[in-house]
Amino acid sequence: MPKTKPSHEPTDATRQTVQLHTTAGTDQETLARVLGIDSKTLRKHYRDELDLGQCKANATICGDLFKKARGGDTTAMIFWLKTRAGWRETSAVDHTSSDGSMTPKPAINLTALSDEELAQLERITDKARNTEGMGEA
């Protein structure tokens, strides 16, 4: 009679290994090999760790970045605004009509702003966010 492979039973240690590797970006095939199981078995027993590992890592890094930005780190502020608030540094396209009736608004160059100007911009943005929704029923 052929030998049957014993059923895999996850442990706290293997769950932690899967979470760590998922957070670091290890692909499922390689991770299954690390654990000595088939990739289907990996997905069957570690679905939450696979689905949530990268999300948890991103949330941790995002939280740290946010703290740095709130603490006055200009680079963190600029990065946050570009990636989360849709700000960008691009060449402005001139949409001015031949008769001058359509004049474009000037683009904001974040790299040209001082730390004080960025802090002032943050205060204005926070104030605008805090007043959104006021008066709505």
pLDDT at 105 > cutoff 90: no
The pTM of this model reads 0.51
Query: Cα–Cα distance between 110 and 107 in angstroms, integer?
Result: 9
15 contacts: CB under 8 Å, gap ≥ 6 = 46, 49
pLDDT-derived band at 137 (thresholds 50, 70, 90) equals very low
Rounded to the nearest 10°, the torsion over CA 96, 97, 103, 109 is -10
* Per-residue confidence band for 5, with pLDDT thresholds at 50, 70 and 90: confident
Are residues 37 and 47 located together in one domain of the fold? yes
Do residue 41 and residue 87 come from a single domain? no
The C-alpha atoms of residue 30 and residue 56 are separated, in whole angstroms, by 21
% of the chain at pLDDT higher than 90: 50
Between CA 81 and CA 86 the distance in angstroms is: 6
Residue where the block lists tokens 């679905």: 47
Q: List all residues 6 or more positions away from 108 whose beta carbon is below 8 Å from its beta carbon.
A: 87
Residue 34: which domain range? 11-70
The structural domain count of the chain equals 2
**Considering the domain boundaries, does residue 117 fall inside one?**
yes
Tell me the pLDDT tens digit for each residue of 110-127: 777 888 888 888 888 888
| Tens digit of each residue's pLDDT (9 = 90 or more) over 10-48 | 999 999 999 999 999 999 999 999 999 999 999 999 999
Whether 76 and 36 map to the same domain: the answer is no
